[in-house]
Amino acid sequence: MPDISVVPTSPWGAERDPVNAEIADHILQRLLTAATALHRGNADELGLDPSMLAIVDVLGVVPELTVAALADRVALSHAATSRAVTRLEERDWVERLDEPGTPRFVMRAAETTTVVDASRQDVRSPLAAAADALDPQAREAVLLFLTRVTDILTTRARSRGDRRLLRTLERRRKEWDKERRGRRADTP
C-alpha cells in the first residue's frame, strides 16, 4: 500500500496514477462527509440552521456584502438568503447598513466573530498543529490543492443553485400562463 502521508510536490497530476486517484477520491468523499457533518453540528450548537451559519461564515471573510452578492457566495436563492439574513438580524448576528443612496449591505455583528471562533476552536487547534507539522513546501502544495478543491465545489454548488432557480422560474411562468389563460376564458 502506498504511503499517503507523503504530500507530492505538485498535488495536480495525481490523477495520472490510478492508485493516487482512488486514494484522492476516497479522501475527498470522507472530507466532504466530515465537513458537512461538522458544519451542521456547529450550526446546531449555535442555534442556527446550516444556511445561516454559511452566511455568517462568508461575512467573516468579506465584511460587507449585498444580499445578492451574499446569495451568490453561499449558493442560495436571493429569497432564501434574504430570509436567513432577516432571521440572523433578529438574533443580532448580522446588521444591515442602510445609508441613503447606497445598496443595503449586510455585515457580521462584532460579537458574532467571538462566538463563532470559540465554537470552532476544538477543530482549529488540531488543524493548525497538522499544518505546522508540514514543511513549508508541502504546506503550500496542500493549501493550493485545497483552494482548488474549494473552487470546484463552490462552482458546482452555484451551478446547482442556478439550475434550481431556473426550474422555479419556469414553474412560476407556467403557473402564471395557466392563470392568465383561465382569466381569459372567464371573460365574455
pLDDT digits (tens, 9 = 90+) for 167-186: 777 887 888 888 877 777 66
pLDDT digits (tens, 9 = 90+) for 33-71: 888 888 888 889 889 999 999 888 888 888 788 888 888
Domain boundaries of the chain, sorted by first residue: 12-120, 134-188
Sign, Cα dihedral of 22, 38, 115, 110: positive
- pTM score over 0.85: no
DSSP string, 77-101: -HHHHHHHHHHHHHTTSEEEE--TT
Class (C level, CATH) for 12-120 = mainly alpha
Q: CB-based contacts of 39: which residues, under 8 Å, 6+ apart?
A: 50, 53, 54
